[in-house]
Amino acid sequence: MHAPTQRLEAIDIFRGLTIAAMILVNNPGSWSHVYAPLLHAKWHGCTPTDLVFPFFLFAVGTVIPFSLGSAANQANKPYRKIASRALIIFGLGLFMAAFPRFGLRAGTPPIIQVLHYLSLSVFSTSLLFRAVFLSYPQPQKAKKWTTPMLLSAGVMLLIGWWHYDLSTLRIPGVLQRIAIVYLITALLFLWQSPKGLLGTGIALLLLYWGLMTLVPVPDGMAPNLEPETNLGAWLDRNIFGTHLWVQSKTWDPEGLLSTLPAVVSGIIGVFTGVWVKKAIPVMQKIKAILGVGTALVVLGYAWGLVFPINKQLWTSSYVLYTGGIALLVLGVVLLLADYLHLRKWAIPFRQYGMNALFVFVVSGLSTKLMLHIKWAGSDGSTSNLRTWSYETLFHSWLPDYPASLAFALTNVLVLYVLARILYQKKIFIKV
C-alpha cells in the first residue's frame, strides 16, 4: 500500500466517476423500481449501466504504465508485487461472496454462531485498521493489528472445518475478474512491446468471436449466443459446477471464457495510460484520445451487427464499443481538468478515485450486512435493516421510482463522506 503515484488528475477523476456510478447502480432502494438507464440490458444491447464495469477495467489498465512503467526495462520484474496484488483482490472477491455467514450450516449451535460473528468482526476490523495504518508514513503502526487478524482468521478456519458449507460459494465475480484482468494485463505490459500488445489484443477479440460463433457446444448444441446454451455457459457449468452466480445458477456474467475479451478492456486502458504519460502537449493527447475513441465506438457498433454488443457475454464488439466510450469520457475529463484547469466540479470524484477499490468493498459489505440484520415483526413478517431504512426514510414519503433513486444516491453520498475523510487525512488504501 503506497501513496498515490503522480499522474494527471484526469485518470483519478475518471476512476472516481466510475466507482460512484458503480455504487449508484448496485444499490437501488427497490429492484422493482429502477429507471431504465440504471439497469443492465436484458441481453443484447448496452445501457449506461453496462458501461460501468468495462470503465473500471479500463481504469485498471491506465494505471499500469504509471505503476510498472519503470520496471518494464529492468531485469528483475516485479512479479511478486503483481501476483500479490492479484491474489489480494481475488481473495477480497471471495470474502465478499461469503460474507457474513460463510455458509454456516443449518443447525449450527448458537455458541458457534456467536463465535463466528465475533471472529469475523475482529478479523474485519483488524484488516481495516491494518490497511489504514499501512498507508501512513510509519507503516510499523500496522503491525499490532496483524496478530488479532491472524488469530481471528485461525478461529474462523477451525469453525469452517466443521460448520461452513461453501459448496455454492460463487467463485467468479467482479473483483475476481478485476484481479485476473490486472494480472494478465500487467504481465503482458512487462513482456510485450506496444506492437505485440496490440497484436495480442486483436487476437483475443478474434479468438473469442470464433469460439462463440463457430465452435459447436458439446452435447450436440450448435454455436449460439443464448444465456444458458452458449459455449461460455457450458464451460462455466463444467468447471465451476454449483459455484456460479446465484441468480442464474447455470451461467455467470463474469465467467471464465469471457475473461479473454475482458483482458482487452484492460489493454485499451494500458495504451491510454502510456499515451497520457507521454511528455507531449495535453491538447495533443486529447485529440488522439478522442479520435481513437470515436473510431472504436464505430468499429464496435459495426462489429455488433454480426456479433451483438452484450455485457453478459462481454462480446468483442462490446469491448471496442465501451472502450471507445471510455476514451471519449476520459478525453472530455482531460479537456476540462488538465487543459482548461476546471477542476472544482471534479473534486468529489477525485477523492472517490483515490480509494476506489476500498470504497467499492465497503459498499458491498455494508449492503450485505444490512440485509443480514433481520427481525420479526408483530404480524409475523420478517424485515431487515436495509428494507426498513428504505421504507422508513424514503419510500414513506416519495413515489416508488424517486424513492428508489434517492436511496441509491444517499449510498453514493455516504460513501463519498468516507472517501473524503480518507483523502483529507492523506490515507490512500491500495493493494
pTM of full prediction above 0.85: yes
Closest CA to 82 of 180, 175, 151, 154: 180
CA distance linking residue 289 with residue 260, whole number of Å: 24
Q: What is the CA radius of gyration of the chain?
A: 22
Helix (H, G, I), strand (E, B) or coil at 258: coil
Residues 279 and 257: their CA atoms lie apart, in Å, by 38
**Would you give per-residue pLDDT tens digits along the chain (431 residues)?**
333 334 568 899 999 999 999 999 999 999 999 999 999 999 999 999 999 999 999 999 999 999 887 776 666 778 999 999 999 999 999 999 999 999 999 889 999 999 999 999 999 999 988 888 877 766 677 788 899 999 999 999 999 999 999 999 999 999 999 999 999 999 999 999 999 999 999 999 999 999 999 999 997 889 999 999 999 999 999 999 999 988 888 899 999 999 999 999 999 999 999 999 988 899 999 999 999 999 999 999 999 999 999 999 999 999 999 999 999 999 999 999 888 988 899 999 999 999 999 999 999 999 999 999 988 877 777 889 999 999 999 999 999 999 999 999 999 999 999 999 999 988 888 87
pLDDT digits (tens, 9 = 90+) for 88-122: 999 999 999 999 999 999 889 999 999 999 999 99
- pLDDT per position as a tens digit, 114-172: 999 999 999 999 998 888 887 776 667 778 889 999 999 999 999 999 999 999 999 99
Strand 382-384 and strand 374-376: the pairing is antiparallel
Q: Is 310 left (phi over 0), alpha (psi -120 to 50) or beta?
A: beta
* Contact yes or no for 298/30 (Cβ under 8 A): no
pLDDT tens profile 351-392: 999 999 999 999 999 999 999 998 887 777 788 999 999 999
8 A C-beta contact, residue 393 and residue 53: no
Distance of CA 169 to the CA centre of its chain: 18
**Contact criterion met (CB below 8 Å) for 175 and 90:** yes
| Residues 383-390: contacts with CB under 8 Å, at least 24 apart | 390/29, 390/30
Pick the closest to residue 325 from 276, 274, 265, 261 (CA basis): 265
Contact yes or no for 214/207 (Cβ under 8 A):
no
DSSP 8-state assignment for residue 158: H
Chain mean pLDDT for the chain: 92
Going from the C-alpha of 247 to that of each of 104, 193, 252, the distances in angstroms are 20, 41, 9
Residue (of 383, 310, 368, 407) closest to 33 by Cα position: 407
- In 3-state terms, what secondary structure has residue 17? helix
CA–chain centroid gap for 270, Å, is 17
How far is 319 from 259, CA to CA, in rounded Å?
11
**Cα separation, 206 vs 196, whole angstroms:** 15
For cell 489493454, name the residue: 267
Query: Distance (Å, rounded) from C-alpha 314 to C-alpha 47?
Result: 14
